[in-house]
Chains A and B, each alone.
Chain A
Amino acid sequence: MAERSFAAEVEKLKIGDGEVFRGEGILAITKALLECGVGYVGGYQGAPISHLMDVLSDAQPILSALGVHFEASASEATATAMLAASVHYPIRGAATFKSTVGVNVASDALANLASGGVTGGALIIVGEDYGEGSSIMQERSHAFAMKSQVWVLDPRPNLPSIVKAVRDGFELSEASNTPVMLQVRIRCCHVHGQFIASDNQAPAMTVAEALENPRRDTSRIVLPPASYAHEIEKVNKRMPAAKAFVRERGLNEVFGPKDGKVGIILQGGMYNAVIRALQRLGLADIHGDTEVPLYVLNVTYPLVDGEVLDFCGDKDAVLVVEEGQPNYLEQAIGAILYKAGARVTLKGKDPLPMAGEYTGAVMLDGCRAFLAEFAGQLLPDQGRAPNAAVAAPIGSKLAETVPMRPPGFCTGCPERPIFAATKLVEQELGAHHIASDIGCHLFSIMPPFELGATTMGYGLGPASASAFNAPDAKRRSISFIGDGGFWHNGLTSSIGNAVYNQNDGVIVVVDNHYSAATGGQDLLSSRETNGTKSTKHPITEALKGIGVTWIRQIDRTYDVTKVAATLKEALSTEATGPKVIVASSECMLNLQRRERPLVAAAIKDGERTVKPRFGVDEDVCTGDHACMRLSGCPSLSVKKLDDPLRDDPVAHIDQSCVGCGNCGEVAVAAKLCPSFYRADEVHNPSAAERFVGRLRAAVIGWLQARREARRLVFG
């Protein structure tokens, strides 16, 4: 069950012709898929396209009614391989994932798919996680498209444009027998806007119909001699068909005056940023009507040579606005112009920066510098009073004061105690080589834990420790892998590899019952019943099946003492081969989302309910904050006491505490201090419980009064 429910959004998917669809960009794409008669959709969750998966997952009744098959794929490679259904059959299919990490994983399937080509439209929707807020390496999916010869759509970032791009994408794919990549940037996925909807279409051919009428064509399979023919076909047939389609259908757009001396060639996704720069320079109006000619590449691969030459023909200079590097577009446009003997000056990564996100300020500076050099007359006159500088310079002291705030473990996260235990073990046994993986557990590399030396990819944590297989060494490596990475490919790439190569290291599977970092989607090993998916397959069974013999299952990660003891056992046992600890506790975000309303209802209905919360005795706490160095929980903070004798703030737990138990367990396991207590609030206690409670309170009250009567009590 995903973190967010899309019950309301699902209703929007049903609206018909002429109605206004309002919502996020990613939901508009979802709706557009249905309007285009898509026959099947697969994908792997991850920002910024998680919501697309979550909505489709919640919309399965609508999809089945239309005959659309939806699958939460095991990985991006699986999702892309699924598009094989469009190779022989005229069925439109879509796969979606986060990129570039997604295309990295999918590249094998992508290359095979692209080689043989497709009959039905095949759309790969990539959420390009680049720039601010990105959690991955900064690369471009564009390179994969070029090497496999898959076309790339990069539409202007507004809902009507991206909806149109979905439609264009399917048609382009069918016209050129080539898969098409639809690239949407992170802010475009989350942009809120509207478009006029059309009716949903049932697929022209459903997967069921295809299954009942199987087809094959050897010439579409990647094996010589067909593979050689594929390459020739890509160049001689598919590429020209694609260029012709793009040109005839006018997928790229030209704005502004026809006869300008300068112009800007831009990726569609950069359109709003470029217009904003021109607006601020007074060269475009509020609706985007521009005085500077723009050639907007809604299709960034392939380029249409004729269009490029037409646009540049009578210009002195053009600026290519292309986010990310290498600057493939600028290079390609340069080649087109040079071969045609054009004399226009080509600018791009200078004045714009080679690397980094093209933010408003970067774009403004870049456009301005370009225009100042080549079209100074366009810019406002020098005589007018200049406005204030871009930003008031505030002393660098403020930069030192404002702390970094990287993401971290949530309140009550079950992964926190695993790393607290690991830190305690390291304090006792010394530092170890620790390999990290992808997932929430990667936050372990940040303060306060600072554990983990590398991250090499999803499901590859233990694989990235495989070189450190030296049974004679005095220390073993420790590697982490999440349940998400485990099922994505880790079972084979990491665990199977460790078994086969008799790796001596320790592997900790961080099992929080979900693919948590991407929004809490279900997995094979999720413990909940899922109406449309098969869950409850224990990780330990998979481990046994693949040949791991040393397995320890921990069912409550908050038991820090036990986690630490198990880790120490794994690091010291005589057993050979990988030592695998499965540390399981449910993701607190999911647990709270499910339980909180139930608890509230139970309290209201008069059922006996216990609500735990932790607290700190402020007069017992000495303000050393050792507990925070083993926690980092948002609910555990500090407060200043109004006591002239105390210099340092003491620990304090706020009302957001969910009573997970980490504080108490850590205090005990690390022998920190006796300040922590857990206060369980018992709602609607039974009569007997009340009676015992009163009895206890009476005796305790008597003891307290007795002592108070014999001493000075300060109020």
Chain B
Amino acid sequence: MSLDRGNSGLPSLSDLPGLGQGDGDTTTAIVKLAVLAVGGQGGGVLTDWITELAERNGYRAQSTSVAGVAQRTGATIYYVEMLPDTGRDPVFSLSPAAGDVDIVIAAELMEAGRAVLRGFVTPDRTVLIASSHRILAVSEKIVPGDGSRDAAEVLNGAREAAKRLVAFDMERPALAAQSMISASLFGALSGSGALPFTKESFEEVIRLGGRGVAASLAAFDACHRLAESGDEIGAGAEPLPTSVQLKRSSVAGPARLIRQWNGLLQRVEELPEPVREMTLAGLRKVVDFQDVAYGLEYLDLVDRAAKMDEGESGWRLSIAAAKHAANAMTYDDVIRVADLKTRRARDQRIRDELNLAEDALLNVTEFLHPRMREICGTLPWRLGRWIEARPGLFNWLDGKLSKGRFVRSDRLAGYLSLWLLAALRPWRRRLLRHKIEAAHWNAWFDHALLVREEDYALGVEVLECRRLIKGYSDTHDRGLSKFDRVLSALALLQGREDAADWLRRLREAALLDEKGEALEGALKTIRTEVITAE
């Protein structure tokens, strides 16, 4: 493979008959080092450090970069060559060549993948030092579902391509030390032993810089030690930051409620073992959303699914029911948002995230834009329906009430307005939004179980489609429309052996883009398939 070859259409070197390649290579004494980074990561600083390091150790060194517009968050590349000083100038190359790089430093996991793809990482020689953390590309972030690329695959590719891979999350030590990843990478380079220079010599170069020396040295040291201790530390683990573990046991409250809660737990215990974990998570969510009685309603749904389920299918139906019924029942209404934003735990989380001192003041502004639809949803259902049935009135009120509100929730007026909204919780069942949501999830759930009678796997897939409904206002409407469109294919699919597979594919397509263009394509395919089949 020679991606850099351009379009000459020539055979590559190794293809030329009768010619060995690289036998006479006179540059083997030159250390060739490439840094691949994302603009803004401090790749330039790292390159300067490496050059300085080489020169202080009696080497001649040359560094180059392509700065310019790629500095603005794009993929960038820096290149260094070094050779022990013989008193005469060597001729260095100004850019890395495929198959001819000794050390590659990648400041982010996908950039390591890019280095492999560009042929800079080869099994005969390249030490690849890569931070396994992710900076998601825009294309990964804008996917309505989970657009993040497969990290394990890139790590495998890197491992396969490199002579030696040193990979771990180098961003975390930098953050912990309030430094930049450049210091971490320099530490990993030092710890890897890929360059014949002492740790003290590396540290001296950092000290010369004069700015943020202590923080840089801390990050440097942490990564030096990690790189020294082993090549891959936790590199295969999920690289995305994960929130704290769901603590399953802790629950507090008045004794009466605790007793009722224990009663609910009793019922969870009666479920088949594999279903319990998901049910417990769901139960906590729905009780937290409303009350214990709501938990009972939820368990009734899960029970219905469990009764139609079977162990040999891995209880997939009940698990899907437990998961998606909980999400459906904890719809995102005004009360829920107000409730979540007025809790003590939320205050604490913000303080933790900011690393705020106990005594520092914190002002919090919420960005809300409730529309008439949400307001109607929070009215007693008859009143809400009455208004909705009168578009003139509805739109007039919408014009009056629907506007962006920046609410200072650290001030009493702002906090109290949210707190009072959350106080509507006991009346929630009588409000319009609940009527709409309950009708919707009941219909969906009944439908899924009905489908299950014919086709187990398809029933599970119908439950899973609930994942499509999420978000607020327009996003929520789009989700509902995707949900309806996906399920519209059921009539065509039922009775086919691969029906469940098709429904899954439709759901996945629906999550690929905002408007549902991929979904439309998939639906079209199905219609053609079915017609051809008939």
A-B contact pairs, 26 of them (CB 8 A): A129-B68, A133-B70, A134-B68, A190-B67, A192-B64, A287-B90, A365-B8, A391-B1, A394-B117, A398-B153, A398-B154, A402-B110, A448-B142, A620-B332, A622-B471, A623-B145, A624-B470, A640-B238, A642-B245, A643-B281, A677-B365, A699-B412, A708-B344, A711-B257, A715-B247, A715-B251
Residues of A within 8 A of B243 (CB): 618, 639, 641-643
Cross-chain contact A639 with B350 (CB below 8 angstroms)? no
Known pairs A405-B110, A448-B138, A617-B346; A47 contacts B13 (CB<8 A): no
Judge if B40 is at the interface, Cβ distance under 8 Å: yes
Query: Within the assembled complex, what's the spacing in Å between the Cα atoms of A174 and B73?
Result: 44
Cβ distance A374 to chain B, nearest Cβ, rounded Å: 13
Query: Within the assembled complex, what's the spacing in Å between the Cα atoms of A446 and B139?
Result: 10
Cross-chain contact A672 with B8 (CB below 8 angstroms)? no
Judge if B131 is at the interface, Cβ distance under 8 Å: no
**Interface hits, B143-181 → A, CB 8 Å:** 143-150, 153-154, 157, 160-161, 175
Judge if B313 is at the interface, Cβ distance under 8 Å: no
Query: Within the assembled complex, what's the spacing in Å between the Cα atoms of A652 and B346?
Result: 15
Query: Within the assembled complex, what's the spacing in Å between the Cα atoms of A314 and B162?
Result: 46
Q: Per-residue CB proximity of A548-571 to B under 8 Å, as 1/0?
A: 000000000000010000000000
Query: Within the assembled complex, what's the spacing in Å between the Cα atoms of A497 and B307?
Result: 76
Cross-chain contact B353 with A365 (CB below 8 angstroms)? no
Cross-chain contact B419 with A193 (CB below 8 angstroms)? no
Residues of A within 8 A of B31 (CB): none
Binds B, one of A242-250, A271-279, A458-466, A577-585: A271-279
Interface residue from B38, B363, B472 paired with A405 (Cβ < 8 Å): B38
Cross-chain contact B364 with A408 (CB below 8 angstroms)? no
Cross-chain contact B361 with A286 (CB below 8 angstroms)? no
Cβ distance A625 to chain B, nearest Cβ, rounded Å: 6
Binds A, one of B19-27, B188-196, B199-207, B221-229: B19-27
Q: Per-residue CB proximity of B1-33 to A under 8 Å, as 1/0?
A: 111111110111110101111111111011000
**Interface hits, B39-91 → A, CB 8 Å:** 39-40, 48, 51, 61-77, 83, 88-91
Judge if B505 is at the interface, Cβ distance under 8 Å: no
Cross-chain contact A409 with B73 (CB below 8 angstroms)? yes
Query: Within the assembled complex, what's the spacing in Å between the Cα atoms of A681 and B291?
Result: 35
Cross-chain contact A365 with B91 (CB below 8 angstroms)? no
Query: Within the assembled complex, what's the spacing in Å between the Cα atoms of A275 and B89?
Result: 13
Judge if B141 is at the interface, Cβ distance under 8 Å: yes
Residues of A within 8 A of B472 (CB): 622, 671-674
Query: Within the assembled complex, what's the spacing in Å between the Cα atoms of A586 and B118?
Result: 37
Q: Per-residue CB proximity of B116-128 to A under 8 Å, as 1/0?
A: 1101011110000
Known pairs A353-B7, A385-B20, A448-B138; A703 contacts B415 (CB<8 A): yes
A interface, by DSSP: helix, strand, loop or mixed?
A: loop
Known pairs A403-B149, A704-B344, A714-B284; A365 contacts B22 (CB<8 A): no
Query: Within the assembled complex, what's the spacing in Å between the Cα atoms of A624 and B27?
Result: 52
Judge if B532 is at the interface, Cβ distance under 8 Å: no
Judge if A547 is at the interface, Cβ distance under 8 Å: no
Cross-chain contact B139 with A404 (CB below 8 angstroms)? yes
Cβ distance A281 to chain B, nearest Cβ, rounded Å: 6
Judge if A368 is at the interface, Cβ distance under 8 Å: yes
Q: Per-residue CB proximity of A349-364 to B under 8 Å, as 1/0?
A: 0111111111111111
Residues of B within 8 A of A401 (CB): 113, 149-150, 153-154, 157
Cross-chain contact B68 with A280 (CB below 8 angstroms)? no
Query: Within the assembled complex, what's the spacing in Å between the Cα atoms of A691 and B316?
Result: 56
Binds B, one of A89-97, A525-533, A629-637: A629-637
Residues of A within 8 A of B27 (CB): 276, 279-280, 286
Binds B, one of A28-36, A80-88, A334-342, A661-669: A661-669
Residue of B nearest to A517 (CB): B69
Cross-chain contact B8 with A286 (CB below 8 angstroms)? no
Cross-chain contact A386 with B341 (CB below 8 angstroms)? no
**Interface hits, B451-496 → A, CB 8 Å:** 467, 470-475, 479
Judge if A240 is at the interface, Cβ distance under 8 Å: no
**Interface hits, B232-246 → A, CB 8 Å:** 238, 240-246
Judge if A283 is at the interface, Cβ distance under 8 Å: yes
Residue of A nearest to B89 (CB): A287
Known pairs A402-B114, A674-B337; A355 contacts B7 (CB<8 A): yes
Known pairs A639-B243, A642-B245; A408 contacts B72 (CB<8 A): yes
Residues of B within 8 A of A707 (CB): 342, 419, 422
Residues of B within 8 A of A366 (CB): 8, 10
Known pairs A410-B73, A645-B323, A689-B361; A359 contacts B6 (CB<8 A): yes
Judge if A598 is at the interface, Cβ distance under 8 Å: no
Cross-chain contact A365 with B10 (CB below 8 angstroms)? yes
Known pairs A186-B68, A393-B1, A679-B364; A624 contacts B471 (CB<8 A): yes
Judge if B301 is at the interface, Cβ distance under 8 Å: no
Residue of B nearest to A704 (CB): B344
Judge if A343 is at the interface, Cβ distance under 8 Å: no
Judge if B383 is at the interface, Cβ distance under 8 Å: no
Residues of B within 8 A of A645 (CB): 278, 281-282, 285, 323, 326-327
Residues of A within 8 A of B350 (CB): 615, 677, 679
Judge if A257 is at the interface, Cβ distance under 8 Å: no
Judge if A419 is at the interface, Cβ distance under 8 Å: no
For chain B, the bracket of interface size reads 35 or more
Residue of B nearest to A686 (CB): B361
Cross-chain contact B24 with A360 (CB below 8 angstroms)? no
Judge if A288 is at the interface, Cβ distance under 8 Å: yes
Residues of A within 8 A of B140 (CB): 403
Residue of B nearest to A127 (CB): B68
Binds A, one of B366-374, B389-397, B430-438, B516-524: B366-374
Residues of B within 8 A of A629 (CB): 142, 514
Residues of A within 8 A of B422 (CB): 707
Q: How many residues of A contact B (CB 8 A)?
A: 160
Q: Per-residue CB proximity of A370-402 to B under 8 Å, as 1/0?
A: 001000100111111111111111110111011
Query: Within the assembled complex, what's the spacing in Å between the Cα atoms of A678 and B12?
Result: 56
Cross-chain contact A712 with B257 (CB below 8 angstroms)? yes
Binds A, one of B92-100, B266-274, B440-448: B92-100
**Interface hits, A1-58 → B, CB 8 Å:** 47-48
Judge if A310 is at the interface, Cβ distance under 8 Å: no
**Interface hits, A108-130 → B, CB 8 Å:** 129
Known pairs A281-B24, A402-B110, A617-B346; A361 contacts B98 (CB<8 A): yes
Residues of A within 8 A of B123 (CB): 388, 392
Top 8 A-B pairs, shortest CB-CB distance: A282-B24, A360-B97, A133-B66, A47-B68, A407-B74, A715-B250, A391-B119, A668-B404
14 more contacts with CB within 8 A, not counting A133-B76, A390-B14, are: A187-B66, A287-B88, A360-B4, A360-B95, A386-B14, A387-B22, A448-B141, A674-B366, A674-B367, A680-B362, A682-B360, A696-B410, A711-B253, A714-B288
Cross-chain contact A394 with B116 (CB below 8 angstroms)? yes
Cβ distance B66 to chain A, nearest Cβ, rounded Å: 3
Query: Within the assembled complex, what's the spacing in Å between the Cα atoms of A381 and B96?
Result: 26
Interface residue from A48, A272, A281, A354 paired with B92 (Cβ < 8 Å): A272
Cross-chain contact A135 with B13 (CB below 8 angstroms)? no
Query: Within the assembled complex, what's the spacing in Å between the Cα atoms of A679 and B473?
Result: 24
Q: Per-residue CB proximity of B339-381 to A under 8 Å, as 1/0?
A: 0111110100010011010001111111111010000000000
Cross-chain contact B242 with A642 (CB below 8 angstroms)? yes
Query: Within the assembled complex, what's the spacing in Å between the Cα atoms of A383 and B354?
Result: 66
Cross-chain contact B367 with A668 (CB below 8 angstroms)? yes
Judge if A306 is at the interface, Cβ distance under 8 Å: no
Residue of A nearest to B29 (CB): A286
Cross-chain contact A622 with B77 (CB below 8 angstroms)? no
Cross-chain contact A272 with B94 (CB below 8 angstroms)? yes
Cross-chain contact A286 with B150 (CB below 8 angstroms)? no
Query: Within the assembled complex, what's the spacing in Å between the Cα atoms of A663 and B367?
Result: 9
Judge if B531 is at the interface, Cβ distance under 8 Å: no
